[in-house]
Structure 1
Amino acid sequence: MFSIIIGIIAEIFSLGFIDTFNETLFGFLMLPFGILSCYILYKYLEKTWKNNDPSKNNNLDEIGKVLE
């Protein structure tokens, strides 16, 4: 996602930039953004799953119901 956005911005500011840019170097430049986005998604899912832990509920009938 980040590489697409940066590629579009680079092409807007400098026409023909993507045609002459080394794809391997671009991949290495985008690697930290990919790792960061995976970590953010991991933390979000971890927080969400902790809040919806079914072992906290003692009543089995309430599992799966929407909490209001």
Structure 2
Amino acid sequence: MLVLIFLYHAWKRFSELAVQFGKSKHYGWYGIVIYIGGVFLAFFLLGFLNEVMDLGINFENNTAVNLMEIPVGLLSCYLMYQVLKKKWESEFVVSETIDDIGKSTEEDSIQ
């Protein structure tokens, strides 16, 4: 149940970031996919290491393994959020308003 709160906030943060840089609000779904994908990848690797190194982890009723989902999901969302923010900041161009068209900076400095 707690995961639903984190999924909602991931969706909300990615949506707000997309709107801030003029992208579609549907990028919020990207946050949910990143959260679930990061958790899936981490547990896949943990299961693989469990089989290869014979760690003996019980995945069925292990509360510690289930609680690992929260920091892994949040970390994957945070890292992708920072990557998208940096990428979109470099691509973002401030468009001129209709009042700024035709103005030159030399007119202000001459007077």
TM-score range, shorter chain: 0.5 to 0.7
- Residue 41 (structure 1) aligned with residue 73 (structure 2): no
Residue of structure 1 equivalent to 2:49: 9
Q: Please list every run of 5 or more consecutive structure 1 residues that lacks an aligned counterpart in the other structure.
A: 59-68
| 1:12-54 deviation digits (Å, cap 9, x = unpaired) | 1117x35x33254322123212111110000000000000003
Residue of structure 1 equivalent to 2:69: 30
Q: TM-score, normalised by structure 2?
A: 0.41
Residue of structure 1 equivalent to 2:35: none
Aligned AA (2:88) = W
For 1:12 and 1:34, the matched residues in 2 are separated by 24
Larger radius of gyration: 2
For 1:26 and 1:5, the matched residues in 2 are separated by 13
Aligned AA (1:45) = L
The CA RMSD over aligned residues, in Å, is 2.2
For 2:62 and 2:88, the matched residues in 1 are separated by 37
Instruction: Flag as ranges the 4+ runs of structure 1 deviating above 2 A.
Output: 20-25
